Amino acid sequence: MTESEVEIVEVGPRDGLQNIARFIPTDVKIDLIRRIADAGFTRMEFGSFVSPKAIPQMQDMEAVMAGLPPMPNVAGMTLVPNAKGAHRALAAGVKNLIFVLSVSEAHNQSNVRRSTDASIADLKAMLEEIDPLNELTIRVGLATCFHCPFDGVTDEDKVLATLEKIIPLREGMEYAISDTTGMATPAHVKSLTKRCIDTFGGSARFCFHGHDTAGFGIANILAAMDGGIRSFDTSVAGLGGCPFAPGATGNIPSEDVVYLFQRLGVTTGIDLEKLLDAGTMILAESGVPMASHVRAIPRARLFADLLGIPPSQAVAA
């Protein structure tokens, strides 16, 4: 991708829905994924093969996968927490897996009750077991790269040291540099993403996964872009629940990011109108308040600005 082209990866069906209390029926999940694909996303999270006890929202993953229409242009990723989840994903036909581990020891201990090094060893064993011939696409979600809910700001050197341990496990993996708590500052995002790319860019692919907790989401996307990132995780309608408290928002809203890039003349390949429609559908089904700013702007006005038409004419039309 060039400076004028970015990839937006939709994470709403996984990172968004998993934080929603109300169970979203299988057919609605399928409709959401279908609409997102139809809007032009070529990569997205379909969901996660996790314990139904841990995340009841994802209990119907096999049914979701079985019900999806053929989408040859879409790389659908699913998160798997362990070998059991990976086997379920493979059995359901998934070829793109996401493993998550935390740079912060405290967060990793809290999530999976083991050290970060133990999780790296688990990842190594899993990769050898489930994909000995290196046929799958693997993303490593690197949580708490900037800030940990227990330990606060994460040291940049710690992120680089963690990457140094994981990257040799296997060539060609992608790393989601994640602002798990949404508390990273733009300066921090630019600095760390640049260091990751400068240090490992030859042997690893990087994307930025942000949250909008502190309202820095859009600024952090631009900061990651300044750092050299060209792939960004976002969530339709800003789905993603609240990591800390009611009212705190989740992932960075896809609509806002698509609109941002379109206004900046950066190609995303996304049809904003279809994306807005997908968001309208899932907001109605999920009952969560919308987090996207752009959604509140009348469409005629929004599209007038994208097309360079005077809004007064577009609104009148």
**Closest approach of Cβ 67 to a copy of itself, in Å?**
33
Taking the C-alpha atoms of residue 292 and residue 260, their distance in angstroms, rounded to an integer, is: 12
Nearest alpha-carbon partner for 81 in 167, 156, 18:
18
Of the listed pieces 112-120, 124-132, 199-207, 285-293, which binds a copy of itself according to CB under 8 A?
Answer: 285-293
Strand partners, 153: 147
Backbone phi, then psi, for 193, in 5-degree steps? -65, -40
Q: Which is nearer to a copy of itself, 28 or 222 (CB)?
A: 222
Q: Is 145 a catalytic residue?
A: no
> 307 with 301: CB under 8 angstroms?
no
Q: Which is nearer to a copy of itself, 93 or 310 (CB)?
A: 310
Q: Which is nearer to a copy of itself, 174 or 212 (CB)?
A: 212
Told to check if 4 binds a copy of itself by CB under 8 A, we report no
288-307 exposure pattern, b = at least 16 Cβ within 10 A, e = fewer: bebbbebbeeeebebbbbee
Q: Helix, strand, or coil here: 135?
A: coil
Q: Which is nearer to a copy of itself, 193 or 249 (CB)?
A: 249
Q: Which residue has the tokens 């942000």?
A: 210
Q: Which is nearer to a copy of itself, 66 or 244 (CB)?
A: 244
Report the residue from 173, 248, 278, 282 that binds a copy of itself according to the rule CB under 8 A: 248
**Closest approach of Cβ 247 to a copy of itself, in Å?**
3
- Residues 19-58 within binding reach of a copy of itself (CB under 8 A): none
Told to check if 290 binds a copy of itself by CB under 8 A, we report yes
What are the contacts of 51-59 at 24+ separation with CB within 8 A? 51/81, 55/18, 56/23, 57/17, 57/18, 57/20, 57/23, 57/24, 58/14, 58/17, 58/18
Report the residue from 28, 118, 130, 153 that binds a copy of itself according to the rule CB under 8 A: 153
Site residues for a copy of itself per CB under 8 A: 106, 147-153, 183, 185-187, 212-219, 222, 242, 244-249, 253, 256, 259-260, 263-264, 290, 292-298, 301, 304-305, 308-312
Active site residues: 242
